[in-house]
Every structure is written in C-alpha cells, then in structure tokens.
Amino acid sequence: MSSQDGCAVLIALEFLRGFAEDKMCGKCLPCMLGVAQMVDILEAITKGEGKEEDIRMLEAISSAAVDTARCKLGKDAAGFILESLATSREEYEEHIDEKHCAKKSCEALINYSIIPERCTLCGVCKEVCPVDAVVGEKLIPYLSDNRPYYIREKKCNRCGECLAVCEAGAIEVV
C-alpha cells in the first residue's frame, strides 16, 4: 500500500469492508468483532469524528487479532492495518487532529471553493448543483456590479457536480 495512491485511512477502511463482506469466515470472535470495531473507528476518522485514542485502539485491536485470529486471512487483515498505521501514522493524525485529508479523498473533510478571479460567471455550476449551494448571478454585460459565485459550505453535499462542469477551472477542492 502506498500513501501516494490515495488516502491511507480510506484505503484501510475499504480494505476492511471488503474483507468483512467477502473473505471473513466469521468463526473466531477476535477477527469478527475486531474488524467490525475497526471499521467503525475508521469510518469516524474519515468523517472528521476521530478521537485521539482511536489510533491506539486500532493498534490494540489489530495486535490482538494478529495474536488470536484462527486463520491466516484474519491475521493478514489485522497486519495490514498495523502496517498502514506504521507507514502512514501522520495521515491518521492529520485526519483526527486537524480534520483534514491531504489526499482530498474523504468527502466529509473536503470543501469546494470558487476562485473569483477565474470564474467567468457563466452559471453552469449553479444550474447543476442539486442542493442549491452555489450562490451568485450570471454575467450581465451591461452591469458592473455582478455578484461573484460562491459555495455555501454548510449546504454543499460534496457531490462534485460543479467541479465537473466548470470549464474555467474556477472550482477547487480545499
């Protein structure tokens, strides 16, 4: 696993979800309960609800599963989480302490912003926004006081529709 490929926390979460759905046999409690608890912790971290003790909890649960799981798959899954924590600890801490995802992968930890200098006031972003989070007016050539577009963060559902349609490159993920 390379942290350059994406968010280490999100990769760990998706890995454990996939393991729980497809590969877990469910015959030993350390693996079955441990994976469920680790998924809950990782989900909270990706939503910006992580707590300082979550990393220690992930390490403790993973270590216990490595030592007590009956099958190699359970031990390997827990080992994957331990390796992720060892190689990408700063990323986990950043998610918890700063509520920030540097890879811009965790939807709850990102926002969209319109760069006024690049915005052409075409209004396409406002038209495609399903929750009316984009505010502003289309360019009216004979007016000099056109209001620039901006995105209401609290209303935005982070769907990315505005980013996809902006031909001017005026919308950025922050």
The per-residue pLDDT for range 37-90, each reduced to its tens digit, is: 999 999 999 999 999 999 999 999 999 999 998 888 889 999 999 999 999 999
Top pLDDT among 154 and 24 is at 154
Percent of the chain residues topping a pLDDT of 90: 46
The residue-averaged pLDDT of 98-126 equals: 88
Predicted pLDDT at 140: 75
Domains plus CATH for the chain?
Answer: 8-98 (1.20.1440.230), 111-174 (3.30.70.20)
Q: What's the per-residue H, E or C state across 91-147?
A: HHHHHHHHCCCCCCCCHHHCCEEECCCCCCCCCHHHHHCCCCCEECCCCCCCCCCCC
pTM of the predicted model as reported, rounded to 2 decimal places = 0.74
Other residues' Cβ atoms within 10 Å of the Cβ of residue 53: 11
Is the per-residue pLDDT at 147 higher than 60? yes
Predicted confidence at residue 144, as pLDDT, reads 67
- pLDDT score recorded for residue 70: 87
- Rounded to whole angstroms, how far apart are CA atoms 65 and 77? 9
Q: How confident is the model at residue 3 (pLDDT cuts 50, 70, 90)?
A: very low
